[in-house]
Structures are given as structure tokens and as C-alpha cells.
């Protein structure tokens, strides 16, 4: 091991390899001393005291230390848990800025700050042999001609997926690549995504995370990954090529291949808490470096942690070093890993400078002024479990949001809940009631019916109740109010009428999702009817319950074909993905006498006020005027599209729908019919003519010019 250490630099934080040596820099305001610990192949540890400190950043440069070197830190300082101070040099600590992490923790007693037999004691057992290690990474990579696709929001179709679950069972992906970044970048996966028509993959957490002790004890694993410990490091469990930093290059290669296919990469990021948990959790990194700087502690009892996430702790969003770390992480993933955006888990917690949610908090100020991060896609999960945590519609103008109200309303409408028609049409048109007042546009709404958290689309129409017994919590975990409907039988059925209704309901919700204004998000596998057997909280199911069963893509080929055709319809027609809110009035400056949107009754006349107030209303026809699009094209030209009628029948019985008079159009050709997903002949409806829609079905008609 190298013995000589030079002063080095306090910036950048982390381990920066320059080709001849590595600079190490780590923040701690409470430390009395910091030791850099290097580990050789046999696990032998060599310690170097960092004698240079500037602005509470401890630093040093080691010539000759290169990529692949494993390291960690030991911090000397006060240990007074009652005062919120938890330094202990017996605990090997991860670098918060580690670009790669090797191994996992084994939950040995030495990882904790107290002894198991006495929670009030101090534990000086050395944790070095039981800890994961940070790894120095080679920053150089051949990106070739990679360019960010920069797909505008109004042209975006998001596909929410899990790196491992997406490819673990894919027969065309080589076995040694399944469940990995390389597997996701494989041509077989890219072909599926391209043929499906999605423009972005939103990956569930890929930051290095920790396996929960209570899950390991039950023979389970943390599958979802919302338990981050390294905000700069790709999770090593998804790497095909080893764990000595190679996962970084593998991740980059995946991004490069997806970009070459015109597909963006969005990361689901968890900056609201860490895997260290509450005061009974292990000491892995932040807790031992500077507990009070990184975490929100209870004001009058700093031994304990404020928790608005349900995980035991929350990061302190008013500390400048914590904010710097998050911003540095975001910039790193954009500039060095070439990702195209972020979905922020429990984003309301990030807005809590103090106790209340504040959309003018320092975090949002930093995002707004950052010339790099502000230019990528920023998607909020706009809630947490704290007081006032449900913040749908309340994020700053540069942000988009997972629209939970879209999900709930669409589910309620199609399962037959009363008094949902007015809300349903609001969601169809981009949720102006949520986003218009602060200057945002329809694309502020990320529309979804299903996501990783909850039922799949197939399960949504097959189960009334959750079935989470496999999680080992007596079915007490997970949401109990799913707004689902099993169509007449709980779970698998061989009744042809029930199966036909379930298939139609899936198509109904896919049509609603894809043809609503806003940005559609499809859950991976919903395009071919993936099931989790009624498990609506599969966070711990790293197995066939959660992995995509690709044989269903063959057995349910009609649904896959229908979804592809539907996405292509949406992408071909800007009338379904407008950049501005609809006005419900004629566009006179375009010489158009018809309104940009109109709502019609069963007899083809425009809806009156009294029609909206009927609790049992289950039907509506939406007219979308393709000649009344007000926003200009890329070259400033006026956009003109086809016009459409979309007929919704959520009633359980068949009903006749009448087309409007010839002023709206003389002939209408059926483009989509959820009751007849693969029509054998062209279906034409004349002005003022009628067509029967079976119970619970949608028909989409294009005006023939």
C-alpha cells in the first residue's frame, strides 16, 4: 500500500481518480479527525489520517491509487446519542459520494452503535469486515456519439420498469445478462420497447441500496430498492460484469444503447431518507460522519429522528451540505451517466425545510437555478406520510407530477362508482383544475392507472381484495382501498364472460390512459396482462411474483398488439397530446367555427349543465377538433390534425350512441373499439347516425375528410 499522502483538494467531494492517483474528500463538521481506510484484495486494511481540512471537508491525495481500489472512512469525534452525536471510529463508513460500492452488509452486531443486549451502551466492535466498501472508479468512458434524445413532454410515453424484473425471465436475453443493466440494454429488450412505442423508461431505484434485516430473516429481499445508501453508485446487484466499479461502465453502456434507439432514461430517486433507519438502525455512513447535518432530528430529543417517510429517518433539507450532496448527485447522473430525468420518491419530504411542505423551499430554489438539473425531466411523487403531505397540483411550475387523482378517478369511473363523470372528463383533458392556475400545462400531469405500488392492470380487474400473504405480514401490509373490481369472481377464472369483461376493462383503461391529455405512463407488463396474483405491495418479492413472465406476451398477444396500436395512434395525432389546455370554444383566429373540444350526450347533442349533475351518469362522447390546435409546430407552422369522437360507455348494458350532426363531420371511421379489438372490416358512421356500444366499452372514431 502507498504510504505517502499529499494534502490534495477539498473539491470535488468523493474519490476523484485523475490517471496517476486519487483525491479523497469527505464532509464532517463534528469530526475531530478522519481516517481514510484502503483495502487490498485480501481485505487487509491500511489507514491514512486526513490532516487537511477546509470548510469542514477533510481531504488528501494518494499518488498511485487507481480505479478498483476499495476504501472507506473512520471518523473520530463525539459520541453522545442524547445530543444527536454518533461518531465512532470503530465503524467503517461509506463515502456518501462513492461512485461504486462493492458487496453488501451482513447485519453483524458490529454495524450498530449500541450492543444488542444494552441499547443504551456504546458498541466498539469493529465493523470493517462486515461492511460494504466504496470503490474508486475510472471516470473515462467511450460514449461514442451519444446525445440525449430530449423528447418534449408532449411527445413522451413513459414505461415504468424494474431493471431486474424486466429481463430476469426474458428468453431472448442471454442467461448471464438477465436481471442486469446489460440485459436491459440488450437488442431484444430494445426491440420490445421500440415496437411498443414508448419513448422513456422510468427505472425503479438504481442507487445502491441495502437489504433489510427483517426481510432477510423471513427469507425475502428488498426488491423495489427504496432503501438507498449510495446516491452516486449504481446498485451492484444489477451488474453482470462484477462489482469492482464495472457496474458504472455497464450502466453507461445501457444508457448509450437506449439513447441510440431514441429512448430516454429516467431514474426513480430516493433523496428523502437513507437505509440507516431510526436510532436503532446501523451506522453505515451519514450517521457516523455527521448525524445532525444529514438527518432531521427531533428538536427537543435529538436522540430520535423526524420521520415523514415511514422508514425511520428523513434527510435534513435545510442543511447546505445535504442539499449540496443531492444536487451534486443529480448533476452527476446527468453529466457523467447521461440520464434524462428523475422521478422523486415522496417528493413532499424534499419540500420540508422545517415541518410544513413549502414549494418555495431551498431544494426547489436550487433546482430552479441549476443550469443542468433544471433542464431535464423532473417528476414528483407529490406526497409523503407527514402532515399535509398530499400535494398533488402544488409543485413548482418546472415540475411534473404523478397524478394520483387521475389514477383514482379513472379506476372509479370504470368500476361504476357514482358521480364520477365530471371528474373523469377533467382528467381526460389534462387536469386543468390542478395545474392551470400556476401557469403549467397539461404535460404537468403524469397520467397513470397502475404503477409498481399497487395492482397490475390485470390484477386491477381480477381482484377486489389484496392478497399479500407471501409478504409474511398476515396480509396487513399494502393499501386496502384499491378502487378495483374483479368483474364477478376473485382471482383466476375460467368463466368466458368474466374473462371477456376483464379483457375489455383492461383495454378501456389503456384507451383512457393513452388518449388523455398529459403524459401517459404505462406499467411494465401491463401491455400483455402481467399478474402478481393479487399482491399489491410486492416490495419484498424478488421472484416470479414480480418478474415479468414473457410467455404472457405470446399467450396474450392480442392485448400486446392492441397496446402497440393504441400508442402509435396517440403518437401520430397531436390532438391527443396538446401542449396547451383546451378551451371549449371555437378558435376564431384559425377560422374554425367548431370548439376545440365538445361533450356530447347519447343523442349527439352538446351536454347541458343538468347532464353533469346526474349521479348515475356513465356515458359521454368527447369531440376533439384537430383543426383547432392553437400551438405552432417546430417551424412555427399551424398544426392541423384529424378530428375524433371518443365514445365512453361505463354502463353495464349496451347503449346506442348518436354521432353529432354534419356540422361536426359527415363521416366517422372507427379507429379503436375495445369491444372489437381486431376488427375485420372498416366501420363507418355517418353524421346523426347511431352505433351500439356494448356495456363497458370505448369506441374511437376519426373524422373522414
Q: Which sequence positions are flagged as catalytic?
A: 345, 381
| Grid-cell match 444529514, residue found | 294
Spatial separation of the C-alpha atoms in residues 410 and 429, rounded to whole Å: 12
- Grid coordinates representing 220? 425475502
d(CA 694, CA 650) in angstroms, rounded, equals 9
C-alpha cell at 690: 347511431
Q: How many residues are listed for the chain in this entry?
A: 705
Q: Residue 99 is inside which H or E element, if any? A: none
Extract long-range pairs of 350-355: CB within 8 Å, 24+ residues apart: 350/271, 350/272, 350/317, 351/317, 351/391, 352/296, 352/308, 352/314, 352/317, 352/384, 352/386, 353/317, 353/318, 354/318, 355/386, 355/387
- In angstroms, the CA 653 to CA 283 distance is 61
Closest CA to 113 of 160, 79, 153, 77: 79
Distances (CA, A) of 329 to 28, 326, 336, 337: 18, 5, 10, 11
What separation in angstroms does the CA of 570 have from each of 52, 151, 197, 440, 564? 59, 15, 10, 21, 10
| Cβ contacts of 332 within 8 Å, gap of 6 or more | 232
Maximum alpha-carbon separation in the chain: 88
Q: Tell me the three state secondary structure of residue 232.
A: strand
Cell numbers found for residue 168? 430476469
CA distances for 553 relative to 145, 185, 532, angstroms: 33, 19, 15
Alpha carbon 117 to chain centroid distance? 40
List residues bridging with 319 in a β-sheet: none
Which DSSP symbol is given to 345? T
Closest CA to 539 of 478, 589, 582, 476: 478
CA atoms of 390 and 465, how far apart (whole Å): 24
Category of 182 on φ-ψ map: left (φ > 0), alpha (ψ -120 to 50) or beta: alpha
The three grid cell numbers given for residue 599, joined into one nine-digit string: 361533450
∠ Cα 612 519 385 (to 5°): 85
Using CA of residue 410, residue 411, residue 416, residue 418, what is the dihedral sign?
negative
3-state class (DSSP) for residue 209: strand
Note the Cα 413 to chain centre separation in Å. Answer: 25
Does residue 580 contact residue 441 with C-beta atoms inside 8 Å?
A: yes
- CA–CA separation, 280 vs 66, rounded Å? 36
State the first-to-last Cα distance of the chain, in angstroms, to the nearest integer: 78
Cβ count near 583 (within 10 Å):
13
Amino acid at each position: 500500500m502507498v504510504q505517502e499522502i499529499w494534502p490534495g483538494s477539498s473539491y470535488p467531494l468523493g474519490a476523484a481518480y485523475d490517471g496517476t492517483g486519487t483525491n479523497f474528500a469527505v464532509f464532517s463538521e463534528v469530526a475531530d479527525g478522519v481516517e481514510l481506510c484502503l483495502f487490498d484484495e485480501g481485505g487487509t486494511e491500511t489507514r491514512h489520517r486526513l490532516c487537511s481540512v477546509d470548510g469542514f471537508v477533510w481531504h488528501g491525495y494518494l499518488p498511485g491509487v487507481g480505479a478498483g481500489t476499495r476504501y472507506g472512512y473512520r471518523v473520530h469525534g463525539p459520541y453522545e446519542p442524547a445530543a444527536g452525536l454518533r461518531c465512532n471510529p470503530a465503524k467503517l463508513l461509506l463515502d456518501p459520494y462513492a461512485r461504486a460500492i462493492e458487496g453488501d452488509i451482513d447485519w453483524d452486531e458490529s454495524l450498530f452503535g449500541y450492543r444488542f443486549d444494552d441499547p443504551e451502551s456504546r458498541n466498539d466492535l469493529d465493523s470493517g469486515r462486515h461492511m460494504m466498501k466504496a470503490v474508486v472508479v475510472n471516470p473515462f468512458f467511450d460514449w461514442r456519439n451519444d446525445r440525449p434524445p430530449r423528447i418534449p413532454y408532449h411527445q413522451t410515453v413513459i414505461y415504468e420498469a424494474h431493471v431486474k424484473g424486466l429481463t430476469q425471465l426474458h428468453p431472448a436475453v442471454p442467461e448471464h445478462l438477465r436481471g442486469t443493466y446489460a440485459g436491459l440494454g440488450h437488442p431484444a429488450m430494445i426491440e420490445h420497447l421500440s415496437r411498443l412505442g414508448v419513448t422513456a423508461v422510468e427505472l425503479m431505484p438504481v442507487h445502491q441500496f441495502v437489504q433489510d434485516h427483517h426481510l432477510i430473516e423471513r427469507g425475502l429481499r428488498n426488491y423495489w430498492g427504496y432503501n438507498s445508501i449510495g446516491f452516486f453508485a449504481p446498485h451492484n446487484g444489477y451488474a453482470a460484469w462484477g462489482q469492482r466499479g464495472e457496474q458504472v461502465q455497464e450502466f453507461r453502456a445501457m444508457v448509450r444503447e437506449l439513447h441510440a434507439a431514441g429512448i430516454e432514461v429516467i431514474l426513480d430517486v430516493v433523496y428523502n431518507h437513507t437505509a440507516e433507519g431510526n436510532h436503532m438502525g446501523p451506522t453505515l455512513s451519514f450517521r457516523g460522519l455527521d448525524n445532525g447535518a444529514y438527518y432531521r432530528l427531533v428538536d427537543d430529543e435529538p436522540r430520535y429522528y423526524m420521520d415523514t417517510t415511514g422508514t425511520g429517518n428523513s434527510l435534513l433539507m435545510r442543511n447546505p451540505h445535504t442539499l449540496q450532496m443531492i444536487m451534486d448527485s443529480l448533476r452527476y447522473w446527468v453529466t457523467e451517466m447521461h440520464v434524462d430525468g428523475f422521478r422523486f420518491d415522496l417528493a413532499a419530504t424534499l419540500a420540508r425545510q422545517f415541518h410544513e411542505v413549502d414549494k418555495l423551499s431551498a431544494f426547489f430554489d436550487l433546482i430552479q437555478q441549476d443550469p443542468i438539473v433544471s433542464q431535464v425531466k423532473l417528476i414528483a411523487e407529490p406526497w409523503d406520510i407527514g402532515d399535509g403531505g398530499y400535494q398533488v397540483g402544488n409543485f413548482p411550475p418546472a415540475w411534473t407530477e404523478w397524478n394520483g387523482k387521475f389514477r383514482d378517478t379513472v379506476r372509479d369511473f370504470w368500476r361504476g362508482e357514482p358521480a364520477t363523470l365530471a371528474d373523469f372528463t377533467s382528467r381526460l383533458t389534462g387536469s386543468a383544475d390542478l395545474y392551470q392556475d400556476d401557469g403549467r400545462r397539461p404535460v404537468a400531469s403524469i397520467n397513470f392507472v397502475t404503477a409498481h405500488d399497487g395492482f397490475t392492470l390485470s390484477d386491477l380487474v381480477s381482484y377486489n381484495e389484496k392478497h399479500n400473504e407471501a409478504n409474511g405480514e398476515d396480509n396487513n401490509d399494502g393499501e386496502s382501498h384499491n378502487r378495483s373490481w374483479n368483474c364477478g369472481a376473485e382471482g383466476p377464472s375460467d368463466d368466458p364472460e368474466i374473462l371477456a369483461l376483464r379483457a375489455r376493462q383492461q383495454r378501456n383503461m389503456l384507451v383512457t390512459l393513452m388518449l388523455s391529455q398529459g403524459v401517459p405512463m404505462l406499467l411494465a407488463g401491463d401491455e400483455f396482462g402481467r399478474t402478481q396474483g393479487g399482491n399489491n405491495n410486492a416490495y419484498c418479492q424478488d421472484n416470479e411474483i414480480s418478474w415479468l413472465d414473457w410467455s404472457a406476451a405470446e399467450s396474450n398477444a392480442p392485448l400486446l398488439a392492441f397496446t402497440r396500436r393504441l400508442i402509435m395512434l396517440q403518437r401520430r395525432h397531436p390532438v391527443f397530446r396538446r401542449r396547451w389546455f383546451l378551451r371549449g370554444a371555437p378558435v376564431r383566429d384559425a377560422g374554425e367555427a367548431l370548439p376545440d373540444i365538445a361533450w356530447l350526450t347519447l343523442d349527439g347533442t352538446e351536454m347541458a349543465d343538468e347532464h353533469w349533475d346526474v349521479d348515475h351518469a356513465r356515458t359521454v362522447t368527447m369531440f376533439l377538433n384537430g383543426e383547432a390546435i392553437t400551438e405552432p409546430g417546430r417551424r412555427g407552422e399551424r398544426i392541423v390534425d384529424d378530428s375524433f369522437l371518443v365514445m365512453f360507455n361505463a354502463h353495464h348494458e349496451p347503449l346506442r350512441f348518436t354521432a353529432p350532426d354534419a356540422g361536426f363531420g359527415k363521416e366517422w371511421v372507427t379507429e379503436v373499439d375495445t369491444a372489437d379489438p381486431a376488427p375485420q372490416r372498416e366501420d363507418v358512421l355517418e353524421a346523426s347516425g347511431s352505433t351500439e356500444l356494448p356495456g363497458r366499452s370505448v369506441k374511437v372514431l376519426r373524422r373522414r375528410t
